[in-house]
Amino acid sequence: MNLHSNAVGSLTWYLKYVGVTLTIGLTMCKFFDCIVRKKRRAALQGKVVVITGASSGIGEALAHVFYDNGSKVVLAARRIAELERVKQDLINKKLSTPTLEPVVVELDLADFENLEQFVQKVYDQCDQIDILINNGGVSHRGSILHTKIEVDRKIMAVNYFGAVSLTKACLSRMVEKKSGHIVFISSVQGLIAIPDRSAYAASKHAMQAFGDCLRAEVHQHNISVTMISPGYIKTAISLNAYTGSGDAHGVMDVSTAAGFTPEYAATKMTDAIANKQNELIISQFLPSLAVTLRHSMPSLYFWIMARRANKTT
């Protein structure tokens, strides 16, 4: 009887101890989360933030996080109706903290000739650009053998040349002001390459290289550059991806459907931007492992990718 009582007493004490420990742990997590959110808001409040590809997906989610943190968000994309929807969704939030009305400006990243005009429109309405987030882009599904060169050109035009051209259109004013932040939403496929994504991976590899060069060159001008490489995020990216023929893929990939939510990714990205991190990878285990293997055990990585390619043919 005494043994039973002692066992029950010990178990009760243990459960109480665990409960108290968990309560303290959760309280501390909430405390530190509150500090992080306050720090983020202090860094972003009143900043003019241009987000390309803001009509859906990661861009839309980023717009919400920056708006919540007091930034003046400039929503940019081709689909004006969707941008107006995002703007109205932001305004309808009626936050208790001070907010700045979002701005909608039409943008076609492939129209290089008019990117200077786009930047001027933003300055006319907002007086400045503090943070440029190069998020707009398009993906690809198709083998190299069966992908038309026109598809490669289209994807490179939007994902790489569009981002580069827009960055250059903003850069001289940031240099003159000795202040600014350029952000590139790249991809894990900018760090590795997998079969049937050649055009997309190539454009993101190019973006990574450009961003690294830019970071070094503008450091002296007090301009920050953040390169963000997401893994699978649950957006319409695979639905809208070009096939080898140039048609829309129209299929939600299983890996994309199982990806992180745009809201989760946007919060992580915003923290990295607020902290002016040089780079950030947001990825599941397997893509992160692939990045490690590519650099530490390239032969194994090449073998795995060859097997993957054989399964898709």
CB neighbour burial string for 209-242, b if at least 16 within 10 angstroms, e if fewer: ebbeebbeebeeeebbbbbbbbbbbbbebbeebb
Residue 200 is a catalytic residue: yes
Q: In what order do the strands lie in the sheet with 103-106?
A: 103-106, 72-77, 48-52, 131-134, 180-185, 223-230, 279-282
From the candidates 14, 67, 123, 200, give the one annotated as an active-site residue.
Answer: 200
- Tokens representing residue 134 in the block: 């190069």
Q: What secondary structure does DSSP assign to 86-153, as a single string?
A: HHHHHHTT--SS-----EEEE--TT-GGGHHHHHHHHHHHHS--SEEEE-----EES-STT--HHHHH
**How many other C-beta atoms lie within 10 A of the C-beta of residue 122?**
22
DSSP-assigned letter for residue 162? I
Dist CA 36 CA 242 (whole Å): 39
Helix axes 285-296 and 298-312, enclosed angle (nearest 10): 130
Instruction: Please identify every residue annotated as catalytic.
Output: 200
